Structure 1
Amino acid sequence: MRIAVFLAALLSVFLQEAPAADGKSKLPPFNKADVPPAPDYAQAASWLDKPDDPDRFGVDIFWVYPTVLYDTSAWLMNIERKDLIEGAAMSVASEAHAFSGQANLYAPLYRQMNLAGFNLPEAERDAIVAYGEEDVRRAFAYYLENHNNGRPVILAAHSQGSYVLTQLLVHHWGKIGVEDRVIAGYVVGWSLTEQDLKDNPAIEICDLPHQTGCFVSYNSVAPGKQSLSPLIQPGAIVVNPLTWTRDTALAPASLNLGSTFFNEDGSSETLPGFASAQIADGGLAVVAKDPKRLESRFFAKGVYHSFDYPLFFENISANVAQRTQAFLTGGK
C-alpha cells in the first residue's frame, strides 16, 4: 500500500463508513464472543514496529497508530490481518516519521475499534475502545519491563491512537511509576479536555516549548469550522504547535518551519511558511497558503484532521529535539 493510499484511508477517520439509512451501523450488534484474541506482547507478531538496534538512541518513542479498521468486517481489529497491519505501518512511515532520527520507535499492535464505533452512544463506544486501551496499557507495561532499560520516552499518537492514549492517561497516569521518565506526549487529533484534567489531575498540559512531562493536544481546522470537527470535544485544551504554548494570539506562518506532504511514490515535499495557527473555540484555526491542498471528500470542508501532523511536521521534529535536550539537561 502506497503512502497516498494510506493517507486516503486516514482521511476517512470518524466520517467515512457512513451509517445505514436508519442511522444504525452496518455492523451487527457488538458481541463479546466475536472479540479477537488479545495480543501477546512477548511475541514479535504483536508489535507493529520495534528497533533493530535498541541502543542507537538514548531516547525511545512509543507510538499508537490511528484508525485503519473501517470496513464492515468486525468491531475490533484482529492484529493478524495483513492489510490492517500494512495500513498501520504506513503511519510510521508518514506521521511518526516526524520523530525519526531522534528516538528508538516502539509501536504495538492493538485491537482498535472500527470507525463505525464513533457513531455509537458514548457508553457503548467506550466499552469497545476499552479493549484497545487495555492492549496499549499492557504493551506499554511490557515495553517498560523488557525494552526500555531506563531510557527517557516520548509518547505519541494520532486520531484513534490519541483517543486510546487519552483514555489510558485518564485512568492510569500518575500510577504507572515511570511518569518522571516521560519527556512529553503528543496526543494529536483528539481532545484532552478540562474534564480529563479534573478526572486525573496528574495529567499536565504543555505551555512552554521546552517543558517536559507534559502533553500536547490540538485539532486542525479552518477558522470558523470548529463545530464541524468531530474530534473537538467540549472543554478541549489546545497547544499551538507553532509556539508550543496555549497563548491564543495568532502564530504567523513565518513560524512554520515546514509543512510536509507525502506523495504517491513515497517521496515528500516540505513547504516552509505554509500555514499559520491560532487557538480558538477548542480548535487550532489554520490559515494555509493553499487551502485546496487540505481538502478531501471524506471531511467537511475546513476540517484538516488528516493533516494534523503534516501541517506542522518540521515544528514537531524540532520540538522533540528541544524537549529532549531540556529533559537530558534537567530542564522543566
Structure 2
Amino acid sequence: MTDNKPKMDWKPFFWLCIGIIILAAIGGTAIYISGDTPEMLAINYADPYNWYAEGTNPDVGTDVFYLYRDTDISGIKPYAINVDVMVFEVRQSVHDSVMNSISDYPEELNAYIPYYRQVTAYSKASPTPLAAETAEALAYADVKAAFHYYMAAENNGRPYVLAGSGQGAEYISKMIAEWFTTRPAYLKNLHGVYLDGILQDEEDVVILLGTDV
C-alpha cells in the first residue's frame, strides 16, 4: 500500500532555526535588517528617563557633559552585544560608576549624563566582526543623539566641558574629531576636555582650547 501523505518540507523550519540562533548570538539587538540606520535606532533623549542627570545645577555658568566608564553586567544578558539601559541593575551600576568617578567634580558644574547602550564584553570578544561593529555603531549613535539633544535643547549658548571615562572617553574623542569638519560651531563654547581619571589627578586633564573651568 502506498503512503500518499505529503512529505514535510523541513527547509523553512531549518532556516528559521538558523535565524533564531543568529539573533540569540547577537543578544537581540537590532542589526538593521529593516534598513534602519544606527541614528534611526538611537535612544530618544527628549525623554528625561533616558538621562541619569539632566542639568543638576542650572544656576551656574558652566555645563559638563559626561559619559561614564564601562558598566557591563554580563550576568543579566550574557549574549547581548549592547548594555540594556532599561534594566534596574544596569542603572544601579551606572549610578555607582558616576558616584565613584565624578565625586570630585567642582560643585559649580551643571551635569548632563545620558544613559547610553555601551558595547558589552561579549561583543568585544565575539569572533564575528559584525556583532562588534553593530554594537559600537549603536552605542556611538546614542552618544551623538544625546549630545545633539543637549546642544539643541539644553545648552543655550553656555560654556561647557566634555568628560569621559572608559568607553565614554573613546566616544568623546571620536565626536570631537568629527566636529572639526562637520560641526565646528560646537567648538565655540567648549572650555575643556577631561578624559579617564581626570577627576583624581590634575596631570590627567586634557585641555583642548587652552582654558580650564
- Normalized against structure 1, the TM-score is what? 0.47
> In structure 2, the residue corresponding to 1:90 is in which secondary structure?
helix
Residues 94-127 of structure 1: CA distance to partner in whole angstroms, max 9, x if unpaired?
2122323131010011111112222246954233
CA distance in 2, matches of 1:180, 1:126: 31
CA distance in 2 between counterparts of 1:97 and 1:122 reads 38
Unaligned runs of 5+ in 2: 1-23, 33-40
- Greater length-normalized contact order (CA 8 Å, ≥ 6 residues apart): 2
Q: Does the Cα contact within 8 Å between 1:63 and 1:96 map onto a contact in 2?
A: no
| Amino acid corresponding to residue 189 of structure 2 in structure 1 | R
Structure 1 residues 160 and 317 mapped into 2: Cα distance closer, same or farther (>3 Å)? closer
Give the conservation status (yes or no) of the 8 Å contact 1:98–1:313.
yes
1:75 to 77, 81, 84: 81
Q: Provide the C-alpha distance between the structure 1 equivalents of 2:57 and 2:108, rounded to a whole number of angstroms.
A: 13
The answer to whether structure 1 residue 58 and structure 2 residue 61 are counterparts is: yes
Amino acid at match of 1:182: L
Once superposed, what is the RMSD of the aligned Cα atoms?
Answer: 3.1
Deviations 1:276-319 (A, max 9, x none): xxxxxxxxxxxxxxxxxxxxxxxxxxxxxxxx45xx61527999
SS state at 2:98 partner:
helix
Pair 165,53 (structure 1): closer, same or farther in 2 beyond 3 Å: closer
Q: Give the corresponding residue for 2:211.
A: 323
Q: 1:50 to 1:317 in 2, by over 3 A?
A: farther
In structure 2, the partner of 1:238 is none
For 2:117, give the aligned amino acid: R
Instruction: Say which one has the larger Rg.
Output: 2
| 1:241-256 alignment runs, 5 A limit | none
Question: What is residue 25 of structure 2 aligned with on the other side?
Answer: 28
Report the AA paired with residue 53 of structure 2. D
Q: Give the equivalent residue in structure 2 for 1:273.
A: none
- Structure 1 match to 2:168: 161
- Percent identity at matched positions? 22
Tell me, in whole angstroms, the C-alpha distance in 2 between the residues paired with 1:130 and 1:107: 19
Give per-residue Cα distances to partners, 1:144-169, cap 9 Å, x unaligned.
11111111111101111112223333
Paired residue secondary structure (1:168): helix
Question: What letter is aligned with 1:47?
Answer: W
In structure 2, the CA distance between the partners of 1:173 and 1:123, relative to structure 1 (3 Å rule), is farther
Assess, with a 3 A threshold, how the Cα gap between structure 1 residues 59 and 317 changes in structure 2: closer, same or farther.
farther
- Which segments of 5 or more consecutive residues in structure 1 lack a partner in the other structure? 1-26, 189-307, 326-332
Task: Choose which of 182, 187, 194 in structure 2 pairs with 1:186.
Answer: 194
Q: How far apart are the structure 2 equivalents of 1:316 and 1:100?
A: 16
Answer yes or no: is the 8 Å Cα contact 2:25–2:79 preserved in 1. Answer: no
Aligned residues: 176
Residues 65 and 113 in structure 2, CA contact (< 8 A), matched pair in contact too = yes
For residues 204 and 105 of structure 2, what CA distance do their matches in structure 1 show? 6
Tell me the distance in 1 between the aligned counterparts of 2:46 and 2:161: 22
Contact 1:129 / 1:164 at 8 angstroms: preserved in 2? Answer: no
Letter in 1 for 2:190: V
User: 1:151 corresponds to which residue?
Assistant: 158
TM-score (norm 2): 0.70
Q: Read off the aligned partner of 2:158 and give its amino acid letter.
A: R
Rounded Cα–Cα distance in structure 2 between residues aligned with 1:122 and 1:47: 31
Partners of 2:79 and 2:122 within 8 A in 1: no
Cα pair distance change 1:84/1:99, threshold 3 Å: same
Letter in 2 for 1:68: T
Distance across 2 between alignment mates of 1:144 and 1:38: 16
Q: CA deviation at 1:81?
A: 1.0
The code of the aligned residue for 2:62 comes to: V
What is the CA–CA distance in structure 2 between the aligned matches of 1:74 and 1:58, rounded to whole Å? 40
Matched-pair contact (CA < 8 Å) for 2:56–2:111: no
Q: Does residue 141 of structure 1 match 2:138?
A: no
Q: Is the 8 A contact 1:70 1:116 kept in 2?
A: no
1:313 matched residue in structure 2: 200
Q: What is the one-letter code of the residue matched to 1:96?
A: I
Aligned twin of 2:46? 42
Give the whole-Å Cα distance in 2 for the aligned partners of 1:102 and 1:317. 20
Aligned amino acid, residue 135 of structure 1: D
Q: What CA distance in whole angstroms lies between the structure 1 residues aligned with 2:179 and 2:47? A: 24
